[in-house]
Structure 1
Amino acid sequence: MIDKNAHLEELLEAMIAEDETITARAIVRRSGDVFKNATDITRNVDRRTKFETAQRKQETIRTSIGRSSNKSRAELDRLVEVKNAEIDELQADRQLVIASHRMMILAVAEMGGFSKWKRFFEGYQATVEKLDSMDAIPSGEVVALPPRKS
């Protein structure tokens, strides 16, 4: 005895892969006499759910392809390359801002003003926590060094 639900899933995946429009009658035609009528699919709740889900998935795929098909493969590759370059630049900028921020905080702390710096962020604890999670706030204690002897 063949598992009709499993067979239906295989048919639906094949139809999506081959971009064949999913209808109950099309499934019956492809089923090899597993399903005799379209109602064998639409009246059974599990099969109907699988059928409708596959139709939505196919529509989503077709919509996505339709948006990108107006562009050539070379144009899409170029767009991906541009976006990757933008991402790389943004990541480098982020690292620079974090390093600069850390050095600024260290300089302020060295002069004894870390508590004054932190006052700027009163009421913005989420900002301080975000900076800390980005490792933008230096950790450790700042200790005063003894004055140099002349």
Structure 2
Amino acid sequence: MREILETLLADDEDITARAVARLHPSIKAASSITRSESRSRLLAEYQQRQSEYRRWRRRVAKHSGAETVASLADKDIRIAELEAAVQLLTASHLAMLRAVGELGGVSKWAKFYEHHREIRDRLAEFGAMPAAPVSAIPPEGNRKKIKR
């Protein structure tokens, strides 16, 4: 279904449940798409993308080629800046969680993320959650003495 939606989007054909059903090898009725929550959600996502695409195309048509190129270059620079910021924040967040874990605060941040499952899942997608359990620093009396 996703391939069909991508094709409709690329060809700028109206994305509807009927259009998808017409092109799909096993789905024969539009209602098979609209009654399924996951299919309906996917259809709505692609309809939104098509709406955005068409809106941008109308805006580009109103500008000169040079203005469009300059605007795209500015947006590419901004995207690169934002991607770099996300990488920095991800690394910083991961380091902070590891530091809290090493200081014995694992149970506290685990309890926090227990109530914020969506945030925890998104952070895991970004790679901003420790992959292995973090062990706490042993209490002062249990540490090995370092000889100098």
Q: TM-score band (shorter)?
A: 0.5 to 0.7
Q: 1:70 to 1:101 in 2, by over 3 A?
A: same
For residues 55 and 125 of structure 2, what CA distance do their matches in structure 1 show?
39
For residues 137 and 65 of structure 1, what CA distance do their matches in structure 2 show?
39
* Alpha-carbon shift at residue 66 of structure 1 (Å): 5.1
For residues 55 and 71 of structure 2, what CA distance do their matches in structure 1 show?
19
Are 1:149 and 2:146 counterparts? Answer: yes
Are 1:125 and 2:111 counterparts? Answer: no
For residues 114 and 58 of structure 2, what CA distance do their matches in structure 1 show?
50
Based on CA coordinates, which of the two structures has the bigger radius of gyration?
A: 1
- 1:75-108 CA distances to partner (integer Å, 9 max, x unpaired)? 0000000111111011000000100000000110
Gaps of 5+ in 1: 1-61
For residues 102 and 65 of structure 1, what CA distance do their matches in structure 2 show?
39
Quote the residue 1:79 is aligned against.
71
- Runs of at least 4 residues of structure 1 off by over 3 A? 62-67, 143-148
TM-score by length of 2: 0.52
1:4-83 matches, cutoff 5 A: 67-83=59-75
How many residues are paired up? 89
- Please tell me the root mean square deviation across aligned C-alpha atoms, in Å: 2.4
Query: What secondary structure sits across from 1:89 in the alignment?
Result: helix
Gaps of 5+ in 2: 1-53
TM-score by length of 1: 0.52
Alignment-mate amino acid for residue 145 of structure 2 = R
Contact 2:98 2:130 in 1 (8 A): yes
